Structure 1
Amino acid sequence: MSAPVYRNPVLDADWSDPDVIRVGDDFYLTASSFHRVPGLPVLHSRDLVGWSFVGHALPRLVPEGDFVTPQLGGGVWAPALRHHDGLFWIFYPDPDRGIFVVTAPSPAGPWSDPWCIKPGRGLIDPCPLWATDGSAYLVHAWAKSRAGINNVLTGHRMRPDARELLDDGVVIIDGEGICTGLEGPKAYQRDGEFWILAPAGGVATGWQMAFRSKDFFGPYEHRIVLATGTTDVNGPHQGAWVTAPDDSDWFVHFQDRAARGRVVHVQPMRWDDDGWPVIGADGEPVRTHAIPVPGHALTAPATSDAFDGPAFGPQWTWQANPEPSWYEMLHPGLRLFLHEDPGDLRRLPTVLGQRLLAPSVVSVELRLSEDGPARAGITILGRGYAWLGLERTDEGSWLVCRATASPESEGVGGFDASAPAGPEHDLVPPVPCTSETVTLTVHIGSDTVCRLGEVSYTPAPGFWTGTTVGLFATGAGGHADFGPVRVESP
């Protein structure tokens, strides 16, 4: 009998910049969450293929006052997850504030309040390393948009409790003459050698580098160990080396797929005769492979939600730090209290969203209270957005389907998060609605093209994120009640 196989991507949604560790027989993953709250999702797996939610390590973004409104593309960038000295550690960067650390005795928490180990702008992609001799180190990259430099990696000596850096830091790897866009370092130690695995060449177009040295501070040799090659997996990079219980090695990385987000692949990894890692099929991504740890039931992160528990599921996040007054659980059902309308759903903190899953059919029941002008519904939200739902005016209630263009202005990273979206326009004429409750349905194709009713909408990715599927309600007073959200195969 042939061994069971998996097919990449193993997480076909926006799990950006994944980092993975194994503790015992269990694998854990965290990822960038940017401006989404709660942040730092934590997933669990027994086989590196099926994943399920554990929770989040960051209930609120800090400093809290800075995140009362959506800070699109800001917040939590690429984190590093480690297990050391009986604790789980996550080092994460806020590119506008510095490098932060949280710890917990268990992946489910409770997680500590974050502390800043290195303040400053443009500090990104941190990773700690506790060496076998008891010393501790930190490596990080730089965001040119904030710091004016990139393509270099900086290293520090660190107190083992990660409460302080012990030096001013030095450049341990300079990408000049080697590559462009060097970032996302992950640090390891193997057989007395220090390894830094780091992507280069750009999110959608790059490749994976490996660097090795006898000393953490260098000098380092380098090789390209994973690239697109003859495959259709663009930019395969930025991830984690993890060893399974049978001592087989694996590399977990992402692929940028625009509106779908940064999806997660698992690659086999071996070592050549010169002691260098060989990832995938001789340095190219594999589409299918034998499951790393066979014998486990396939799982996937939750998507549907009946809203029948004490809180909504962990798949949901807000666009800013939430307040208790924003919602109420109806058991079953979810009530969103109407929030002042900023005229741009990207600026509405009370959008409750989850990652777009393609292909899928998303449906939800909606009832809008009778307390004045308001609108509520389901939105496909990125740099631009579309929404389907109810609008109540002085003339009555209407079933509407509207969209706005993505902003045309360009900024750092090829887009400008501060630019307003284009004005909303009707995709179809509004239809009078006399029913108290409506069912809203969005069909999301395998190409991520969305059908809202009878019209199609092609979503744009968000600001460093994939597209969000969200629920919202705006107005001067009252509420909107949402029934079960069902995310099903088409």
Structure 2
Amino acid sequence: MMIQSSISYSNPILPGFYPDPSITRAGDDFYLVCSSFEYFPGVPIFHSRDLIHWTQIGHVLDRMSQLDIRGCKSSGGIFAPTIRYYDGMFYMITTDVGGRGNFYVTAADPAGPWSDPISIPYGGIDPSLMFDDDGRVYVTTQQGADYDSHAIQYEIDVATGEALTEPVVIWTGDGGPWTEGPHLYKINGIYYIMTASGGTAKEHREIIGRSSSPYGPFERLPHPILTHKDTESPIQYLGHADLIEDNNGDWWAVFLGVRLVDSKYTVLGRETFLAPVSWSEDGWPMIDNNEDTVGLEMKVPRVPGSSPKPADSGRYEFDDDTLPFSLTFLRNPAEGSWSLGERPGWLSLRGQPASLNDIGQVAFIGRRQQHVKEEWSTLLELTSTQASEEAGLCVRLDEKAHYAIGLGQHEGQRVIAAYLTVKGKTEIAASIPTTAEKVYLKIQADIAKYSLLYSLDGQEWHELAVGAAYPLSPQAMEGNGFTGVVIGMYATGHGEIAREQAYFDWFDYRIGGSS
């Protein structure tokens, strides 16, 4: 039998807006979670046996009693979850920024259901759990801001969330801003504290310390264990890592990074990458300290198992009574704002008072953009003649940056219109009058631009408008933007609940496009 000398895989392992990864293992099975911010359900969870190919098995926070983000601003909501498996139980700990703060939930089955939240008392963002050999359970979490941020730690009763000790500062980082995303590990009897530093942009890096005690003092490795800040690599902003040992005794790291266009911007947001971890002779884990060993194409001696490769292209037919896990709402959906049963085989959206420009419960269901060249299309039926009612297809970064094409009314006339919203200002880029109640809509992404197209027969397509990609990147935002582009179907009543529903027959996504 021929023995394979190496295995190749592609990074990122989760392309598109899947940042702040955390990973755990239960036997031969690996589970990974990511931040979800203003999107609902919260905290997508994935399963794999080879660490390379991941299948989404659900969301951790899938009901209002766990997550109420109805008024959440963009890039707020759920920050940096950590997932851990201990003694037959899964734990996910995270922060609802602007909401309940730090909390955790539990499940016997990672596919759910997960418990209602158990709140914990201390810390800022990015809490993590560590289960020690002696039964103690530590919460390690970020506190403070910018150059004053640091990691604190305390013990809890994991059954109740009650703090058993007062929090103490255990780690102040390497002198850079935003010491965050802390994880405490115990490896071969040594405690390691690992955090990100430098902020989640060009100075991003992962740093580490070690000690014989979980509270330190920690000896800090003088240099990062992961960064690309001094390289010309197509992958930048590396950091916010989590370590895992597989069933072969090999160590790995999952972490976020971005693939920049022209070394300047990305509409895809921060993505999840995978790399092997090597251990130095003196006991430090190393990933890539500006050595460019983390690449888009990787080779490793072996992986722990095998998993099916997910499809890059496909179509949602809306024939089932539940939405696929890869689709997401913008905040908690309003009651009655969507249905798969109103018309079998169609998704119905009832426009809400909130529009794409508003912070509120927008009728929107979308999918993360995962490739710079991709296209999405749908067949929309909207019979309403109300002046305020509109529905269509949208490519969205946030309230102030999105492009849309759809059916609506303009100056008393039914139109197919394209809308470009940049820095909070919306313009009708183009419109044509129509009597059609059904229209095919398409958005094409081609590295530097988005094209908005329509068709009356599904065969002959017409470009209505074009918008540049850069304005929909986090790098174009004022302040911090933590998400990437999500493309989806929307409806709005522009200030009131729509009288009639919009119906979508299918939603198609194609890597590279088909026309």
TM over 0.5, shorter chain: yes
Superposed counterparts of 1:223-262, under 5 Å:
223=221, 224-228=224-228, 229-230=230-231, 231-257=233-259, 258-262=266-270
- SS of the aligned residue for 1:382 comes to strand
8 Å contact kept, 1:364–1:441:
yes
User: Residue type of the partner of 2:409?
Assistant: R
Superposed counterparts of 1:325-364, under 5 Å:
325-329=336-340, 330-342=343-355, 344=357, 347-358=360-371, 359-364=373-378
Is the alpha carbon distance of 1:23 and 1:448 closer, same or farther for their aligned partners in structure 2, counting shifts above 3 Å? farther
8 Å contact kept, 1:194–1:215:
yes
8 Å contact kept, 2:270–2:482:
no
Is the alpha carbon distance of 1:281 and 1:3 closer, same or farther for their aligned partners in structure 2, counting shifts above 3 Å? farther
Q: In the TM superposition, what whole-angstrom CA distance separates every residue of 1:36-83 from its partner, at most 9, and x where no partner exists?
A: 11101111111111111110111135686x633343222110011001
Partner in structure 2 of residue 73 of structure 1: 75
Superposed counterparts of 1:445-484, under 5 Å:
445=446, 447=447, 449-453=449-453, 454=463, 455-457=465-467, 458=469, 459-461=471-473, 463-475=481-493, 476-484=498-506
1:321 alignment partner, one of 329, 332, 336: 332
Partner in structure 2 of residue 305 of structure 1: 316
Q: 1-side partners of 2:406 and 2:244: how far apart?
A: 45
Superposed counterparts of 1:34-45, under 5 Å:
34-45=37-48
Q: In the TM superposition, what whole-angstrom CA distance separates every residue of 1:164-185 from its partner, at most 9, and x where no partner exists?
A: 111220100113x633321101
8 Å contact kept, 1:225–1:283:
no
Q: 2-side partners of 1:388 and 1:348: how far apart?
A: 20
Q: 2-side partners of 1:20 and 1:84: how far apart?
A: 13
Matched, 1:435 2:445: no
Is the alpha carbon distance of 1:283 and 1:389 closer, same or farther for their aligned partners in structure 2, counting shifts above 3 Å? same
Matched, 1:377 2:388: no
Q: 2-side partners of 1:143 and 1:474: how far apart?
A: 39
Q: 2-side partners of 1:248 and 1:403: how far apart?
A: 49
CA deviation after TM superposition for structure 1 residue 365, in Å: 0.6
Is the alpha carbon distance of 1:343 and 1:202 closer, same or farther for their aligned partners in structure 2, counting shifts above 3 Å? closer
Q: In the TM superposition, what whole-angstrom CA distance separates every residue of 1:429-473 from its partner, at most 9, and x where no partner exists?
A: x1112222111111112x363211333322424642111112111
Partner in structure 1 of residue 458 of structure 2: none
User: Residue type of the partner of 2:172?
Assistant: D
8 Å contact kept, 2:153–2:169:
yes
Partner in structure 1 of residue 508 of structure 2: 486
- SS of the aligned residue for 1:364 comes to strand
RMSD: 2.3
Q: 2-side partners of 1:353 and 1:2: how far apart?
A: 41
> Which region of structure 1 is more displaced relative to structure 2, 281-290 or 32-41?
281-290
Partner in structure 2 of residue 90 of structure 1: 92
Q: 1-side partners of 2:83 and 2:105: how far apart?
A: 10
Partner in structure 2 of residue 269 of structure 1: 277
Partner in structure 2 of residue 17 of structure 1: 20
Matched, 1:400 2:442: no
Is the alpha carbon distance of 1:464 and 1:295 closer, same or farther for their aligned partners in structure 2, counting shifts above 3 Å? closer
> Which region of structure 1 is more displaced relative to structure 2, 264-273 or 447-456?
447-456
- SS of the aligned residue for 2:237 comes to coil
Aligned length: 466
CA deviation after TM superposition for structure 1 residue 301, in Å: 8.3
Q: 1-side partners of 2:440 and 2:13: how far apart?
A: 31
Matched, 1:289 2:299: yes
Q: 2-side partners of 1:473 and 1:328: how far apart?
A: 13
User: Residue type of the partner of 1:473?
Assistant: A
Is the alpha carbon distance of 1:33 and 1:448 closer, same or farther for their aligned partners in structure 2, counting shifts above 3 Å? farther
Q: 2-side partners of 1:464 and 1:364: how far apart?
A: 28
Q: 2-side partners of 1:268 and 1:392: how far apart?
A: 55
8 Å contact kept, 2:30–2:51:
yes
- SS of the aligned residue for 1:184 comes to strand
Q: Which runs of 5+ in 1 are unaligned?
A: 407-420
8 Å contact kept, 1:403–1:427:
yes
User: Residue type of the partner of 2:509?
Assistant: V
8 Å contact kept, 2:70–2:331:
yes
User: Residue type of the partner of 2:506?
Assistant: P
Is the alpha carbon distance of 1:283 and 1:166 closer, same or farther for their aligned partners in structure 2, counting shifts above 3 Å? farther
TM-score normalised per structure 2:
0.85
Partner in structure 2 of residue 415 of structure 1: none
Superposed counterparts of 1:152-171, under 5 Å:
152-161=150-159, 163-171=161-169
User: Residue type of the partner of 1:451?
Assistant: S
Q: 2-side partners of 1:296 and 1:211: how far apart?
A: 34
- SS of the aligned residue for 2:163 comes to coil
Is the alpha carbon distance of 1:57 and 1:84 closer, same or farther for their aligned partners in structure 2, counting shifts above 3 Å? same
TM-score normalised per structure 1:
0.89
8 Å contact kept, 1:259–1:448:
no
Is the alpha carbon distance of 1:123 and 1:477 closer, same or farther for their aligned partners in structure 2, counting shifts above 3 Å? same
Partner in structure 1 of residue 262 of structure 2: none
- SS of the aligned residue for 1:235 comes to strand
1:7 alignment partner, one of 6, 10, 19: 10
Q: 2-side partners of 1:199 and 1:302: how far apart?
A: 34
Partner in structure 2 of residue 130 of structure 1: 131
Superposed counterparts of 1:46-57, under 5 Å:
46-57=49-60
8 Å contact kept, 2:24–2:31:
yes
User: Residue type of the partner of 1:187?
Assistant: L
8 Å contact kept, 1:94–1:123:
no
CA deviation after TM superposition for structure 1 residue 320, in Å: 2.1
Q: 1-side partners of 2:200 and 2:508: how far apart?
A: 32
Q: In the TM superposition, what whole-angstrom CA distance separates every residue of 1:386-435 from its partner, at most 9, and x where no partner exists?
A: 101111357332111111112xxxxxxxxxxxxxx22x11222x111222
Q: 2-side partners of 1:404 and 1:235: how far apart?
A: 27
Partner in structure 2 of residue 418 of structure 1: none
8 Å contact kept, 1:372–1:394:
no
